[in-house]
Structure 1
Amino acid sequence: MTSAISFQGLSTNLPTDQLIAAIINQQSQPMVRMQTQQAVNNTKSTALQTLSTDLTSLSIALDTLGTTGFQGNKVASSDSTGAYVTATASGAAPGQYDLIVKSLATRARLVMPTTMQPNAAIGMGDYTLTDMDGKAFTVTIGASNNSLSGLADAINNAKDANGTAINVNAAVIQTGADGSSQLVLSANNTGQGASGATTFSFTAPTGSTLGAGTSSSQAATNSDFILNGVELRRSSNSVSDAVQGVTFNLNQAQTDLTKTTTLTVTQDQDAATKAMQDVVDKFNTFYKDYKSKTNFTQNEDGSYTKGVFNMDMAVRQMVSQVSSALMGAPSGLPASATFTTAAGVGLKTNQDGTISLDTTAFKAALTKDPHAVSNIFANSATSTSPLLTFIGSGSATTKSPISYSVATVNGVLTGTFQNQKADGSTETNTLTSTNGYFYGLTGTSLEGLSVKASDGASGTLTVSTGISRLVQDLNSSLTSLTPGNIGGLMQDLSASNYTLSQQILQQQDYLARSKASLQKLYANLETTVGQLNAAGQSLSGM
């Protein structure tokens, strides 16, 4: 590879290489400015991506606040050992529950009477099991699995035509020192079958050395317990359908039925406070990442470089929207609500734009009215009829009162919902029920609404959109590709950088041609001056 030839003033004594470099440097300034703009665009795009990530983290923290923070419970027991019963709770209303355990749920079990070696032949043919739900299964024993172990494996792998496994499991239990064993069949679940059955049956083919078992060595029983004076029975020892949000774990039957275990369910204020603080931290990260890109940075030469968000009104407006949504008041909360704003439950805006949580005020608000605190952040609604229960709503759901009337029409549960639109007109939506649930249709004032109602429900529903949903909707909107939003701005920056790249390539091509032209010009100049110098020397020698 050869290097470029330099004509550094061989004849003219001019610094031609330096002159060419100076000219090219001057000509390349537009390209340098484009490269600088690309770097600024990349920095801004990265900063926007950081804001997008921060906003998503804030949205997740708010969702967690509503789903687990406010739903967390603590359970205190009068029996610190939990000998008879323990409990867990989530989303349960505070309350006290007195419980007495009369008996535990047990599983049905059948011990086959024949004792044999696990690999001894039991007889080929069809073995039939009917579980406590009344489902019959047949397993076929052939030459390849003609043993106690083979039968156990076949039972454990048995499925019906729909692929459903049998509700019985088999185990080979060694009962003798010589390895002799017995087959034990057990129900997978405790408690009686769907039809009240307490046993299952097993039938061996004629000639089998295993014999047939027609009765259970242990019948299934349901648990029997007394909860706040009401005697209840369940098929399991883990009971989650007696009190909403509370699971009682029955551990041992009591011999003394006069002893009561008292379980006290309260809101876990520490968990709620921690979740609320996480929201504060996530917002402050979002806000600080924004502010750090609005400041001026001093360079080594004493000059200053302004942040990529400095004087950027579009980004400033987005940050302001998030701050206002988080610290503002949800729409639709009744005026009689104990609390109606985040500021009212301990959130404060600091002078530097960040926020902070007064944990004492927050816990005091939770003590006074935990439901009202939760409603500030989560979507909620008030219904004048107990026959209609609010399930959920979206950002598009109307905030004006919704009158409703539910009745069975031609055998179908039908609901008529009316509300006043912004233009003063009345919108009527007639919905049919799916298992007692009604869902608002997309494009209507009820979009996003879901309620559960019974025949005869009539009254008014007023919906409130909580802060969590407002911020989540902002997250979806601000990170979209819509012009002016984070996604749209990043898309514009990417398009700008592509255009700049094309222009830089053109500029580089132009500079290469310009440099080649200058080198040729100066080379010709050196040749001409050299020839003139040679001619002059010839004339002077005459």
Structure 2
Amino acid sequence: MSGISSPGIGSNLDVNGIVSKLMTIEQQPLNRLTRLEASAQARLSAYGMIKGAISSFQGTMAGLASASKYTSLSASSSDSAVMTASASSIATPGTYSLEVTKIAKEQKLRSDVLSTTSINDAIGTGTLTIQLGTYSGGVFTANSDKAATSITIDSSKQTIGGIRDAINAANAGVTATIINDGTGFRLSLTSNSTGASNSLKVSVSGDSGGTDTDNTGLSKIAYDPAAAAGSGKNLTESQAAQDAQLTVDGIAVTKPSNTLTDVIQGVTLNLLKESTVGTPIKVSVSRSNSALTSAAQDFVKAYNEIAGTIAELTKYTPKTASSSAQAGVLMGEAAPRSILSQLRNGLTQSVAMLDGKKMTLSDLGIAFQKDGTMAVDTAKLNKVAEANPELVAGFFATAGRASDSGVKYISAGSSTSVGTYNLSVSQMATKGSLVASGAANLTITDANKTLTVSLDGASATVTLGTGTYTAASLAAEVQSRINGTSAFKQSGLAIGVTESAGVLTFTSASYGSSSKVSIGGAGAADLLGGTGTETAGINVAGTINGNNATGSGQTLTGENGIKLSVIAGSTGDRGNVYFTRGFGAIMEEVAKSLTNTKTGGLAGATGGIDSELKDIASRREVMNRRLADTEKRLRAQYTSLDVMIGKMSTTSSYLSQQLAALARSNG
């Protein structure tokens, strides 16, 4: 049988207490590891604070790299009830005098003939074709910039409500509504665009309820002011389309819209109502440096936060009469000083400008102070920005500029080096075209109204409106109908149609080798005066710094990633393209390098701490095993001692009893 023992029972020896106190001494090295671990964790958290400050600094760098901050202008109107104004970076500061005599209006049509007692009453089926254009002398000329839209009204859409929904879903440039006047439901059509050139023409074909122009069935919606009432002019005009009319510094201006973006360069005017006669409105354009000042202050604040965080974490506060000495968590470590040094070196470097000159932050009024912090001299910064905003934009932002006005810088790649690039163009991009071989037949009938058009790889059937046209109005009709075809609209494709002596020319809106135009179908011969000549477009071609570049349409991309758009001019030497990454982009790269998870200064410092923590964990594991063995050994030893003392105590008691008995017998 195995015996049951409990430490201290045999001898009253406090085995548990002795072992506990001995283990407290044995665990001293483990406590030291705990203190080392706490210190390492504190340092790791400190580097996390520095990383957070650098991440904030990176955000300000990205903000500084936005060129729009440095060229912003603002515009104000002396009477915002008449008009409001805003300005872009290309506007010229100054004051302009304006008078508004008419505001632009959209045309509104209503159906006096078409009135139903229920929104679900059937009207008729067929096809509605909606066009925008100009009426003059009883003749409608399609607006060539606005696509014609054909809408099929089948039996599922033939109610007044279904017709409204079909028109609105077609994105035809018209909004349809239903108005209940108390006696019935009437259809109302409103052009989505203001201006005389956006008057409505609504044609009906395939009317199941009667002819296409009478006042029955779907033809109740037909509207052609050149026709007779009840015979195609079946809607009533409740508001005529009207252009805006105004004077700007005494110059008369007529525009189709109340939002004017091309009257004063770089200024957008929003006309709200006519002004009082003889009381001009003043529009003032001035430069705004608030975004620049704010961005510069954010940048300085972000750097000062990094410097302040590092100073706090590495400082040493000597002992005083009222407090003990205090050491920063990272005092004595090299990484924080190295990080601050790299940032300061970046902040003092010069930046190559687009004109070849170099600038530094101090040239703009942003400089280090005696205490190591940075500050902004806003007066100096604003003075430089007002004198040359493009210069400031070029300093902070990644930018490119071509010496040739016909060439536009688009973008650069990550490997594009700062510098000057020579551009030579061997081939200008062209658009695909089709030139008719003879004058067009100006009379369009059911026999020649259908065309099969192929444009830039997409194909569609196009149906022209019947009637007799002038050469100019036929060109506008064809352009409007082709561009209104859903297959082309959905693909973002468009065509331009012009005429000369009755001969039509069809030109794709896109450039490059995929730009092509061809026309077939029943009406092709009449429209083209024969067969016509097709010419495919070509891509721009040339070299950048002597190396072949890749052309796509008007875009030329160099081997190093610089991308240019050659929009005008001729072949040959086209001058230089200047590229700079800007201070914002440079400093953002510095910040990225510091926070790189593999090679950055922070990664090196925190990697060392991580290794320390792993080593501490490993040592703790070994020490815990050793302490467990030690405690086991001590407990066994003191338990054995306890048993031994217990036995000796028993023997002592026995001997004492025997000696006492012997003494009594001898007495």
Counterpart mapping for 1:1-400 below 5 A: 7=7, 11=11, 16-17=15-16, 19-65=18-64, 66-77=66-77, 80-96=78-94, 98=96, 99=98, 101=100, 103-113=102-112, 114-119=114-119, 121-123=121-123, 125-126=125-126, 128-132=128-132, 133-142=147-156, 147-156=159-168, 158-159=169-170, 165-176=171-182, 180-191=184-195, 198-201=199-202, 203=204, 205-206=208-209, 208=217, 211-215=220-224, 217=237, 218=239, 220-221=241-242, 223=244, 235-240=256-261, 245-253=266-274, 261-296=281-316, 306-332=327-353, 334=355, 340-381=359-400, 383-393=402-412, 396-400=415-419
SS in 2 for 1:322: helix
Deviation at 1:199, TM superposition (A): 1.2
Q: How far apart, in 2, do the equivalents of 1:297 and 1:117 lie?
A: 91
After TM superposition, the score normalised by the length of structure 2 is 0.66
- Higher-Rg member (1/2): 2
Q: How far apart, in 1, do the equivalents of 2:201 and 2:11 lie?
A: 113
CA contact (8 A) 1:128 1:136 kept: yes
CA contact (8 A) 1:314 1:484 kept: no
Deviation at 1:346, TM superposition (A): 1.6
Residue matched to 1:422: none
SS in 2 for 1:91: coil
Q: Does 2:564 align with 1:451?
A: yes
Q: Please point out which of 591, 601, 606 is paired with 1:475.
A: 591
Q: How far apart, in 2, do the equivalents of 1:139 and 1:40 lie?
A: 79
Q: How far apart, in 1, do the equivalents of 2:291 and 2:35 lie?
A: 49
Residues 1:541 and 1:309: Cα distance change in structure 2 (over 3 Å)? same
Q: How far apart, in 2, do the equivalents of 1:512 and 1:531 lie?
A: 28
Q: Deviations over 1:473-505 (max 9, x none)?
A: 223322222234335654564565455445434
Residues 1:319 and 1:75: Cα distance change in structure 2 (over 3 Å)? same
Residues 1:103 and 1:508: Cα distance change in structure 2 (over 3 Å)? farther
Q: How far apart, in 2, do the equivalents of 1:460 and 1:414 lie?
A: 16
Deviation at 1:323, TM superposition (A): 2.9
Deviation at 1:251, TM superposition (A): 2.4
The amino acid of 1:85's aligned partner reads M
Residues 1:21 and 1:191: Cα distance change in structure 2 (over 3 Å)? farther
Q: How far apart, in 1, do the equivalents of 2:603 and 2:109 lie?
A: 65
Deviation at 1:341, TM superposition (A): 1.6
SS in 1 for 2:220: coil
Deviation at 1:181, TM superposition (A): 3.2
CA contact (8 A) 1:107 1:221 kept: yes
CA contact (8 A) 1:332 1:399 kept: no
Residue matched to 1:421: none
Deviation at 1:333, TM superposition (A): 5.7
Aligned-pair identity (%): 21
Q: How far apart, in 2, do the equivalents of 1:95 and 1:241 lie?
A: 16
The amino acid of 1:508's aligned partner reads N
The amino acid of 2:119's aligned partner reads N
Q: Deviations over 1:200-256 (max 9, x none)?
A: 416464163882332362454554556678776655322335666532212235685
Residue matched to 2:510: none
Q: How far apart, in 2, do the equivalents of 1:488 and 1:100 lie?
A: 68
Which ranges of structure 2 fall in alignment gaps of 5 or more residues?
133-146, 210-215, 225-234, 430-537, 659-667
CA contact (8 A) 1:170 1:186 kept: yes
Residues 1:117 and 1:521: Cα distance change in structure 2 (over 3 Å)? farther
Residues 1:119 and 1:486: Cα distance change in structure 2 (over 3 Å)? same
Deviation at 1:41, TM superposition (A): 3.6
CA contact (8 A) 2:92 2:265 kept: no
After TM superposition, the score normalised by the length of structure 1 is 0.79
Deviation at 1:16, TM superposition (A): 4.7
The amino acid of 1:149's aligned partner reads G
SS in 1 for 2:176: strand
Residue matched to 2:630: 514
Residues 1:382 and 1:128: Cα distance change in structure 2 (over 3 Å)? closer
CA contact (8 A) 1:481 1:491 kept: no
Q: Does 2:540 align with 1:413?
A: yes
Q: How far apart, in 2, do the equivalents of 1:108 and 1:385 lie?
A: 44
Q: What is the aligned-residue RMSD (CA, Å)?
A: 3.8
Q: Which moved more, 1:48-57 or 1:212-221?
A: 212-221
Q: How far apart, in 1, do the equivalents of 2:293 and 2:325 lie?
A: 42
CA contact (8 A) 1:131 1:168 kept: no
Q: Does 2:556 align with 1:438?
A: yes
Aligned length: 505
Q: How far apart, in 2, do the equivalents of 1:253 and 1:205 lie?
A: 46
Q: Deviations over 1:21-80 (max 9, x none)?
A: 444344444444444444334333333333333223223224334355324322144xx1
Q: Which moved more, 1:287-296 or 1:98-107?
A: 98-107
Residue matched to 1:423: none
CA contact (8 A) 1:127 1:205 kept: no
CA contact (8 A) 2:67 2:394 kept: no
